[in-house]
Amino acid sequence: METIDRVAGMSRAAGIFRREGRTIGLVPTMGSLHAGHLELVRVARARADIVVVSVFVNPTQFAPGEDYETYPRDPERDAGLAAGAGADVFFLPSVAEMFPDGFGTWVDVDGITGVLEGKSRPGHFRGVATVVIKLFNIARPHFAVFGQKDAQQVAVIRRAAGELNTGVEIVVVPTVREPDGLALSSRNAYLDAGERRRATALRRSLDAARDLVASGERDPAKITGAMARVISGSGPAAIDYISLADPDTLEELTALRPGAVVLASLAVRIGRTRLIDNELLTVD
């Protein structure tokens, strides 16, 4: 596996791969790789000639007071894991490389960035969309792989990639979970033992939503209310949002129609750690 830390070097390599007719798959990450990230790499490996894994802790998607400074960083460990999962190129740019002095061009996606995570974290998706589109332009992938756990990010990137005519296919991989159901996340490391046990309530709340829909419940308010009771019954926790929405537009649903696919999602703060999770529910 080759490690590249300069934008110009990554662009040159991508140009060579393209001229040679190789298919490039990109897995964008912020590092602190875990089994969920490695599953994304394996999916890319199965369909690409060249797999590029990028690691960049993007300062523009963190709000003041969030955990940018303390976000876990271990590039040597990440490089070893990426290589073991099948990556060919490990792209590790600095902040100065990605956002040089005087940088002032941003990707804003209207509508779907102002709700859910966007409402709680103003400016977050401007930073996400900008850095991902930059990575598309630098690494020139044919496709990029993302996890379903970040469902709103997927919706934002899919829209930006399509409307800006990048030609990049967005591949989405189901959420990878711990045996007890907790979605894998780099921020799980912030949880102490008691908080870690309480965090399983996110998965259980989604299970409750799925069971209610399967039993015939069609009132979103009753379903989100049941989800909230699961969270509150698990111990101290602060619910940021619980949502049943259209998975593409993220518009909140007032009723569940037969045949619809619904995005059930939530964000909950347990201790000092903010966790998110979601599941796609099909209304029979």
Active site residue ranges: 37
CB neighbour list of residue 6: distance below 8 Å, 6 or more residues apart: 93, 97
Separation in Å, CA 36 to CA 74, 137, 140, 186:
17, 25, 23, 10
Separation CA 170–CA 245 (nearest Å): 21
Separation CA 125–CA 106 (nearest Å): 10
Separation CA 67–CA 44 (nearest Å): 29
Spatial contact of 42 and 85, defined as CB atoms under 8 Å apart: yes
What DSSP assignment string belongs to 106-152? ----TTTTSSTHHHHSTTHHHHHHHHHHHHHHHH--SEEEEEGGGHH
Q: Would you call 51 exposed, middle or buried from its count of C-beta atoms within 10 A (0-12, 13-18, 19+)?
A: buried
Tokens matching residue 192: 């102490």
Three-class secondary structure of residue 89 per DSSP: strand
| Closest by Cα among 133, 177, 181, 183 to 153 | 133
User: How many residues in the chain?
Assistant: 284
Tokens matching residue 58: 């993007």
